[in-house]
Amino acid sequence: MGTISIEATDKTPSIKFNANQGKLELKGRSIPPNAVEFYKPLTEALKNYRPEAGLPVVADIYLEFFNTVSSKCILDALRLLDALHQKGNNVKINWYYEKDDKDIQEAGIDFQAILKLPFTLISVNEEN
């Protein structure tokens, strides 16, 4: 299945997905002109993803800001991970937010409430 590696811009986050290692990282700002198209490679990869038996899947999400359309696309990707979890795969989400960023923290809380998979909220200092 391979990997996805999309570099961040001032309007899009970096997306790094290594299917062989079960690692996904989303990092940066997400205000792309067309969020559905931007996230399409990730959602397509997750739709077809079948992790090796016993391979844990970990998603590390470090978002500074995202718009409403991005929120839906991110939720779509998280739902695909949730579906893997419901099928018995070991899937975990780590949602990082800056200590004083209540908006990103609350978004993580909202996503956590919607999903059934292990979801950890992690406060980080801005200097990290």
The CATH number of the domain where 89 resides is what? 3.30.750
Range of the domain at 25: 3-124
User: Please, which residues bridge with residue 23 across strands?
Assistant: 18, 58
User: Please, which residues bridge with residue 12 across strands?
Assistant: none
Per-residue pLDDT tens over the stretch 65-122: 999 999 999 999 999 999 999 999 999 999 999 999 999 999 999 999 999 999 999 9
Task: State what percent of residues in the chain have pLDDT above 90.
Answer: 91
Q: Residue 128 pLDDT more than 60?
A: no
The domain total for the chain is: 1
The pLDDT-based confidence of 123 (bands split at 50, 70, 90) is very high
Q: What is d(CA 108, CA 110) in angstroms, rounded to the nearest whole number?
A: 5
